[in-house]
Structure 1
Amino acid sequence: MTTSALRTEPDHLVVTAASLAQGMDWVEQKLGLSMAPRIGGEHVRLGTHNALMSLGPGFYLEVIAVDPLAPAPSRPRWFGLDTQEDHASPRLAHWVARTGDIHAALQASPLKPGIVEEMSRGALHWLITIAADGRLQCDGLLPSLIQWQSQPHPATALPDLGCRLVTLEGRHPQAGALSASLHAIGLDDQRIVLHEAKVAALSAVIMTPHGIRVLG
């Protein structure tokens, strides 16, 4: 597969938190919508659990945290969860992009988000890139790559709360290199906006039934 044939698109946003309850409360306060009842589950191999919220067809928001009831994994957890402070405030830490050929996309990307690993949760099966040390690449602005191996997409099982992503805005000293990597993997989405800045930051502008809200 040539680089020009690759097609990649945003799949989900990742909110990290010291606990799942804190992360869900933060999202609810920011968006003015309830995440109850919780829809999600456990990632036994990595010692984490999550909660999901629809942001429209084929796109969702994930709150993820260390699962206090799970045994410690033999490897670093993903999404930088092992390096965050014990009482860290919830934040929009990362995003994930969906591709039909994760190996080709990883090879084409000048910036590398990690290595491809197999994951599963219940009936869901997918391939995803994870850094060996579990840390987020480029301060979380370089998306992890995901290829879903099960159908349908997880967002189809989530109630539609009327939320839609308007803009995902990133600021980073390597904005040019990040843009080049997105182009190389065939990700061309006008909602993704990158700016050159000395300090890295990630924020999502979301249209809700209550108007525009921002996660950051």
Structure 2
Amino acid sequence: MAAPAFDHIVIAAETLAEGEVWLTDLLGAAPEPGGKHGFMGTHNRLWRLGDREYLELIAIDPDATPPPYPRWFGLDQFGGPPRLVAWVIRTSPLQPQPSSSVMQAARGDLRWQITIPDSGTSAQDGVAPLQIDWGDGPHPADRMPDHGLRLTGLNLAHAKQPAILPDDPRIKVRTGAARLTARLSTPRGEVVL
């Protein structure tokens, strides 16, 4: 079994264009194209955060057919300005939590499995990580240019500690009201999401 490791953070937006403008200005770097997730009716943009780490901006794809189940990251109920809604750890094999399912996905030569809560919303108000397994194939961050963006901290607060956490000094957990924040080092200085 591979030890859990930080993989990516997820920022949701009402539209991909709105989120892209906001994040590009905030981070001081343009995203990579990302792609579409037909099985979820979503599309995304990506920013590299280091080796095998990235930031994902995601929104409902208005041109896609809605799936017959809730979209991931609570996008069916999402509203308001773009914001951090979830984080994802890389592990193998996946260890799905109660009331979650493993979905298989592919785009080009990228192939992955991911745990998705059956409700579509991230567990513990986004504080508990989703799990992803990229298998033996490539990782999206391997193909992205390095603009100097780095995750420097991920702060989790919840009444209950998530069941699976990576051993990563950047990740801090405390008991309290549900809250998830990420600190990034960018060409424009530190940013808190």
Give 1:190 deviation, angstroms.
Answer: 0.9
Aligned to 2:67: 73
Give 1:150 deviation, angstroms.
Answer: 5.2
TM-score, length basis structure 2: 0.93
Aligned to 2:14: 18
Unaligned runs of 5+ in 1: none
Alignment partner of 1:193 is 2:161:
no
**For the residues of structure 1 that align with 2:136 and 2:64, how far apart are their CA atoms?**
25
Q: What does 1:101-120 correspond to in 2, within 5 Å? A: 101-102=93-94, 105-106=95-96, 112=98, 114-120=100-106
**For the residues of structure 1 that align with 2:27 and 2:175, how far apart are their CA atoms?**
27
2:9–2:87: 8 Å Cα contact kept in structure 1? yes
User: For the pair shown, which has the larger CA radius of gyration, 1 or 2?
Assistant: 1
Alignment partner of 1:147 is 2:133:
yes
Higher helix share: 1
2:27–2:187: 8 Å Cα contact kept in structure 1? no
State the Cα RMSD in Å: 1.6
**For the residues of structure 2 that align with 1:15 and 1:182, how far apart are their CA atoms?**
21
Give 1:6 deviation, angstroms.
Answer: 4.8
TM-score, length basis structure 1: 0.84
**For the residues of structure 1 that align with 2:91 and 2:99, how far apart are their CA atoms?**
14
Question: What is the aligned counterpart of 1:93 among 78, 85, 88?
Answer: 85
Give 1:208 deviation, angstroms.
Answer: 1.5
Aligned to 1:182: 164
Counterparts in 2 of 1:112 and 1:59: CA distance versus 1, 3 Å: farther
**For the residues of structure 1 that align with 2:112 and 2:185, how far apart are their CA atoms?**
28
Aligned to 1:161: 147
Aligned to 1:130: 116
**Where has structure 1 moved over 4 Å in runs of 4 or more?**
none
* 1:93-149 deviation line (CA, Å, top 9, x unaligned): 1000001211xx33xxxx547211111122211110011221111001110000013
**For the residues of structure 1 that align with 2:151 and 2:138, how far apart are their CA atoms?**
21
**For the residues of structure 1 that align with 2:62 and 2:170, how far apart are their CA atoms?**
35
Aligned to 1:29: 25
Question: What is the aligned counterpart of 1:171 among 143, 157, 169?
Answer: 157
* 1:35-88 deviation line (CA, Å, top 9, x unaligned): 2xx421000111000001100111000000000011111111111101213xx2
Question: What is the aligned counterpart of 1:53 among 18, 23, 47?
Answer: 47
**For the residues of structure 2 that align with 1:166 and 1:112, how far apart are their CA atoms?**
30
Unaligned runs of 5+ in 2: none
Q: Percent identity?
A: 41
Counterparts in 2 of 1:164 and 1:114: CA distance versus 1, 3 Å: same
Higher strand share: 2
